[in-house]
Amino acid sequence: MSKVLKINGELYTVETQDEMPLLWAIRDIVGLTGTKFGCGVAQCGACSILVDGNLIKSCSMPVSYGIGKEIFTIEGSSDNLEYLREAWNEVNVPQCGYCQSGQLIAATALLNKNTNPTDDDINNAMSDNICRCGTYVRIRKAIHKAVELRNQDVS
Amino acid sequence: MSKIHKVNRRDFIKLFGLASSGIILGCNLSSDQKDFIPKLDGVFSPNLFVQINNDGKVILISSRSEMGQGIKTSLTSAIADELEADWNYIEVKQATGDSKYGNQNTDGSRSVRTRLEPMRKIGATAKMMLITAASKIWDVSEDECFAKNHFIYHSKTNRKLFYGDLVDEASKVALPSESSLKLKEVKDFNYIGKTLKSIDLKDFTHGTAKYGIDIRIPNMKFAAIQRCPVTFGKVKSFDSSFAEEIPGVEKVIKLDRIVPPTGQFFGALGGVAVVANNTWAAFQGKLDLNIDWDYGENHLFDTNDFKKTISQRISKKGKLIPGSRGNVSSSFKNAEKVIEATYHVPFLVHAPMEVPNATAWYQDNKIEVWAPLQDPQTARAELAYFFDIPIENITINVTFLGGGFGRKSKSDFVVEAVSISKEIKAPVQVVWSREDDIKHSFYHATSAQYLKASLDQDLNVSGWLQRVAMPSIVSSFKPMSDYASGLELNQGFTNNPYKLDNFRLENVKAESNLRIGWMRSVVHIHSGFGNNSFVDELAFAANIDPVKFHLNLIGNDRVVKGKSKYPYDSRRMKDVLLKTAEISKWGQSLAKNEGMGIAIHYSFYSYVATAVKVSVVNDNLKIKNIWTTIDCGLALNKDNIKNQLEGAAVFGMSLAMFGKITAVEGAVEQNNFFDYQMVRMKDAPNIHIEIMDKMNEKPTGVGEPGVPVIAPAICNAIFNVTGKRIRSLPLIDEGII
């Protein structure tokens, strides 16, 4: 039952059942706790990660799904994630912060596919992620801000 | 009054470690009046600290829990302001749960209200000692010295000394008396009344903030508990053979219900616990248990029946509540018009994104806990009581809270973790599944209200009768508490913001068959919904614009004196209403399918008015804009206050649109976010927040006052466009969503 997961470029050997959700393998076995448990049934997005660039609810995909693939979590870094972090900072987005790992990963997935999302694009892309504190207005603003920051760097 | 102490050296070392030298200050803060829960009397000793290291670093202690309301940044910024500290040198540590820090109960929107002045005094004390130290080094008068941005200056010679270089001398300085402290004037504030971003932003955006559920200690186990579907049901017998076959499952144990003594604590529900070496195995094991339950006396509880019962009861006279005045009967008799309506709010649940969880280690007559707790001192006292361990042997480490909303005021999940740790003789983390959270909470009570009012010939409200039936929070502490308590009715029922000469309030029986608790804004959710919906109905009956009608009803400018340090000022209520009307362009011409609604409320001593613009097309609701104005007195951290009120608008939307907990045969029917829905990004409107400039007033509540206005303002806007009156929440049940 020993298998290798590649998370944020690092290799981790884990001993788990194949059907254990990636979320729990990442949190309880690997020990990266930035990815959060919120609902366990792919309803809230707190556990969002990227697997080979695809946005995944890690609570509902088995660990076997991640083998041999590139897993990206909130502990990782990418250009878009860094712009988003800066924008989150500028807009002072978080309240309790718990859902923000998932929000940032979902926003990263959005910017990876869409270089200049509209409000509608953001509403569509981000509606899988619940924020009980209600920071949606700021998240929306911060995603636009991240695009602005990236465009400033490019020009 | 506050007293300022030098702190016991041992406490200091325990908190900060031995590494750094520095000066340190503690401040003995007076205790809060508890609104709801009787508690053990604590001994209050030195508690809140400032430490300045010789490298200039300033470590401040946050004694209140951080659950998204920004208190860790806000309260410590008040210390830093009076200290004239450079914020870049600040580090904030979270206090453990201990009475020496003063009351830590993070609840009731009162942290800033009750702690701002003590925090400022702590900062001012430290600053004075640094000034004294510098004056001694320079051999000059203290009057010639002043503090600015982490330096003490000598005004005559322009010499300056860095805070870090003053710590040795300052350590020798006697504590100044409290009466000698001079607090800053509003115009001189550096941080108070400005905007400071959360000091934890980096951790929040890198996944490194440690919530309770992120605690990892060597050799810890994970546990999940199957609790009886019916409140207070018991385990008759169970078969754990399937669960024990699951890889990772190590042990299955029965937990008896821990019944709290009357008047205090929360106890724990009991059930069957599955202990495993990872969370998932524990969750799986729990689902594979075969348990025979004794459902107990709550097994017939049905929320639909209960709604009918309390709706019938409010059609008859209830107990008269003090505060009633005048004669409503004669008002009704002489009325031009009499209007009546009934309103209903269902049971609700907090559903913080981080589920209840706690990590505990019971060993050697000691307990250590790591948990997301709003009220760590009650948890500590509760553990001392239930496990018969001296309170000084119990350490409560307060983690970040992934949302609280009142759920994490209750420490039942900590009691569970300690029970299991004691049994298995190892550290253990109890994690609730989302289903556990939805099905076994301390619920926000349901309510039914009957309202009847008369309009006189001038279309003024001449009489107001209100009957309220609502299971009481007190029932969780004292069985058979079948009426709302005075403290609950004082949340917007007895003290509504209106001028009513003939006012009668009646309390109607409502027993409890679920655990009842408090959720963000508490009873103000009921009073705010009933009052504002009804006033809108009266305005319509009178054919008067709702803003104008509200202004009339608030009445003449007056300050309602009483025992409160925060007398109600009707002018401030009117001003927030007028400001909201202004920013929302109230009275503007609207598109065909659009409507606007307004609501006002006075809660946690703050004044709030909200306007909402909606569109409704074929019963499809779109909430387009929300405008909220708050007068919270001195606004400590402005952008944080805006964030809180934006969040309150979304929280209010969720409960208005979707919030409903139902029970059949005693068991809660909802499961998870698919059937206990939340507002999502696609629903989120534009939200505009205005903060009244009241820097010379006392600070009042922020975290909660923005919620109660939202549901009625939405419903009033729906009426404005559709003519359909929503008198029962949530909207999804009324076919408008």
Q: Distance between CA A124 and CA A147 in Å, rounded?
A: 17
Helix (H) or strand (E) holding A125: helix A119-126
pTM equals 0.95
| pLDDT higher at B225 or B125 | B225
- Residue window 53-112, chain A: list those with CB within 8 Å of chain B: 73-75, 84-85, 88-89, 92, 94-101, 104
User: What pLDDT, in 10s, does the model give residues B576-587?
Assistant: 999 999 999 999
In angstroms, the separation between the Cα of residue A95 and the nearest Cα of chain B is 4
pLDDT at residue B25 in the model: 53
ipTM over 0.90: yes
- Per-residue pLDDT tens digits for B549-573: 999 999 999 999 878 889 999 999 9
CA B504 – CA B719 distance, rounded (Å): 27
Kindly determine whether residue A36 and residue B206, on different chains, have CB atoms separated by under 8 Å: no
Shortest alpha-carbon distance between residue B205 and chain A (Å): 6
Out of B204, B280, B400, whose CB is closest to A24?
Answer: B280
Interface test with B, best of A23, A30, A73, A133 (most B CBs within 10 A): A133
Question: Which residues of chain A neighbour B206 with C-beta distances below 8 Å?
Answer: 34, 74-75, 85
Q: What is the pLDDT of residues B468-495, one digit of tens each?
A: 999 999 999 988 899 999 999 999 999 9
Q: What is the DSSP letter of B449?
A: E
Task: Report how far residue A73's alpha carbon sits from residue B206's, in angstroms, rounded to the nearest whole number.
Answer: 9
Q: In chain B, which residues have their Cβ closer than 8 Å to the Cβ of A38? A: 353-355, 434, 673
Pairing of strands B503-508, B461-469: parallel
Whether residue B38 has pLDDT greater than 50? no
- The alpha carbon of residue A154 is apart from the nearest alpha carbon of chain B, in Å, by 23
The pair of three-digit structure tokens given for residue B245, joined into one six-digit string? 């076959």
Question: How high is the pLDDT of residue B671?
Answer: 98
pLDDT at B46 exceeding the cut of 70: no
Residue B178: its pLDDT value, please? 85
Structure tokens at B149: 């941005």
DSSP symbol at A26: I
Chain A residues whose CB is inside 8 A of the B205 CB are 84-85, 88-89, 94, 100, 104
Q: For residue B71, give the H/E element and its range.
A: helix B71-83
- Asked if the model's pLDDT at residue A18 lies above 70, the reply is yes
Q: Are B204 and A21 a contacting pair at CB < 8 A?
A: no
Query: What would the DSSP string read from start to end of B107-147?
Result: -TT-HHHHHHHHHHHHHHHHHHHHHHHHHHHHT--GGGEEE
Contact call for residues B70 and A95 (beta carbons, < 8 A): yes
For residues B382 and B265, what is the distance between their CA atoms, to the nearest angstrom? Answer: 6
pLDDT of residue B416: 98
- Please name the residues in contact with A110: beta carbons below 8 A apart, sequence gap of 6 or more: A117, A121, A122, A125, A126, A143
Please enumerate, as own/partner, the contacts of A81-86 that have beta carbons within 8 Å and a separation of 24 or more: A81/A105, A81/A108, A83/A111, A83/A146, A83/A147, A83/A149, A83/A150, A83/A153, A84/A108, A84/A111, A84/A142, A84/A143, A84/A146, A84/B205, A85/B205, A85/B206, A86/A146, A86/A149
CA B451, B570, B526, B484 torsion-angle sign: negative
Half-sphere CA count of B101, side-chain side, radius 13 A? 27
CA distance A35 to chain B (A): 7
A123 contacts chain B (CB < 8 A) = yes
Token pair 């579907």 in the structure block, residue = B229
Instruction: Read off the pLDDT of each residue in A102-107 and give the average, rounded to a whole number.
Output: 98
B207 touches chain A (CB under 8 A): yes
Residue B167 — very low, low, confident or very high, per pLDDT cuts 50/70/90? Answer: confident
The answer to whether B201 contacts A92, with C-beta atoms less than 8 Å apart, is yes
Cα separation of B17 and B91, whole Å?
A: 15
Write the secondary structure of B328-395 as one string of H (helix), E (strand) and C (coil): HHHHHHCCCEEEEEEEEECEECCCCCCCCEEEEEEECCEEEEEECCCCHHHHHHHHHHHHCCCHHHEE
| Distances in whole angstroms, Cα of residue B13 to Cα of each of A132, B24, B47, B51, B328 | 38, 11, 14, 11, 64
- Distance CA(B525)–CA(B447), nearest Å, equals 10
Dig out the tokens for A100 from the structure.
């923000």
Residue A136 and residue B650: Cβ atoms within 8 Å?
A: yes
pLDDT at B53: 87
Q: Which helix (H) or strand (E) holds B523?
A: none
Contact B706, B523 (CB under 8 A): no
Option in A35, A37, A95 nearest B207 (CB): A35
Contact between A37 and B70 using a beta-carbon 8 Å cutoff = no
List all residues of chain B from 608 to 667 with a beta carbon under 8 Å from chain A: 639-640, 643-644, 646-651, 654
Q: Which of residues 383-402 of B touch A (CB under 8 A)?
A: 400-402
Distance in angstroms (rounded) separating the CA atoms of residues B319 and A44? 44
The alpha carbon of residue A66 is apart from the nearest alpha carbon of chain B, in Å, by 17
**Which residues does chain B have within 8 Å of residue A20's beta carbon, measured at their own beta carbons?**
278, 280-281
User: B280, A28: Cβ pair inside 8 Å?
Assistant: yes
Residue pair B602/B495 in contact (Cβ under 8 Å)? The answer is yes
Neighbours of B248 (CB within 10 A): 21
Which chain B residues are within 8 Å of A84, Cβ to Cβ? 205
> How close A3 comes to chain B (CA, Å)?
16
CA–CA gap between residue B191 and residue A98 (Å, rounded): 26
Note whether B553 and B498 are within 8 A (CB): yes
Q: Is A10 helix (H, G, I), strand (E, B) or coil?
A: strand
- What mean pLDDT do residues B663-667 have? 98
Q: Are B266 and B475 in contact (CB under 8 A)?
A: no
Contact call for B206 and A139, based on CB within 8 A: no
How far CA A15 is from CA of A4, B60, B399, B533, in Å, comes to 9, 42, 29, 58
d(CA B164, CA B363): 41
Query: Sorting pLDDT into bands at 50, 70 and 90, what band is B263?
Result: confident
- Give the DSSP letter string of B546-601: HHHHHHHHH-S--EE-SS-SS-EEHHHHHHHHHHHHHHTTTT----TTEEEEEEEE
Q: Contact, B228 vs B293, CB < 8 A?
A: yes
Where helices occur in B374-523 by DSSP H, the ranges are 376-387, 412-424, 434-439, 486-489
Q: Give ∠ CA B256-B260-B266 in degrees, rounded to 5.
A: 95
Per-residue pLDDT band for B19 (boundaries 50, 70, 90) equals: very low
- Average confidence (pLDDT) over B314-318: 97
Residue-wise pLDDT for B440-471, tens only, equals 999 999 999 999 999 999 999 999 999 999 99
pLDDT tens sequence across B638-655: 999 999 999 999 999 999
Per-residue confidence band for B176, with pLDDT thresholds at 50, 70 and 90: confident
Output the six-digit token pair for A10: 């690092």
Q: Does B356 touch chain A (CB under 8 A)?
A: no
Give me chain B's average pLDDT, please.
Answer: 93
pLDDT, tens digit (0-9, with 9 covering 90-100), for B324-358: 999 999 999 999 999 999 999 999 999 999 999 99
Beta strands, E only, A16-124: 48-51, 54-57, 70-72
- Confidence band for B319, pLDDT divided at 50, 70 and 90: very high
Nearest chain A residue to B352, by CA: A132
Model pLDDT for residues A25-47, shown as the tens digit of each residue: 999 999 999 999 999 999 999 99
Identify the three-state secondary structure at position B462. Answer: strand
Closest CA to B702 of B276, B139, B112: B112
* Residues A125, A110 contacting (CB under 8 angstroms): yes
